[in-house]
Amino acid sequence: MSAYTVEIRVMPRASLLDPQGQAVQHALQALGFGDVASVRAGKHLVVKVQASTREEAAAKARTMCDRLLANPVTEDYECSVSQ
């Protein structure tokens, strides 16, 4: 078993309204960043996990996302594993 770090990015599904991202976009535009075309706001989670292989760590992270960290109705996620 070795220690792996899994970085998980959870984003609101692209087809759904993301009012938080929109609010940030408007604030950026008010700050003078008029060329900001869109902002989407999600979550970044860093999970340290013990696993025997990199693939096992990734599989565990995907299960964590499916069961808790992301809502399958509204969110998509991506995991990247490092040691």
Partner 1 sequence: MQRVAVVVFPGSNCDADTLDAARAAGSDAYYVWHRHTDLQHADAVILPGGFSYGDYLRSGAIARFSPVLRAVTAHARAGGAVLGICNGFQILCEAGLLPGALMRNARLKFLSRPVDVRVEATDTPFTSSYERGEALTLPIAHGDGRFVADAETAALLEANGQVVLRYVTENPNGSMHDIAGVCSAGRNVVGIMPHPERRNAQLLGGQDGARVFLSLEARNATQHAGDLRAVDGRHLRV
- Footprint of partner 1 on this chain (CB under 8 A)? 12, 16-17, 19-20, 23, 68-69, 71, 73-74
- Cβ proximity to partner 1: between 5 and 74 the closer is 74
- Cβ proximity to partner 1: between 22 and 54 the closer is 22
- Cβ proximity to partner 1: between 71 and 80 the closer is 71
Beta partners for 69? none
Tokens of 75: 């969110």
Instruction: Supply the minimum distance, in Å, between the C-beta of residue 36 and partner 1.
Output: 18
Quick check: helix, strand or coil at residue 49? Answer: strand
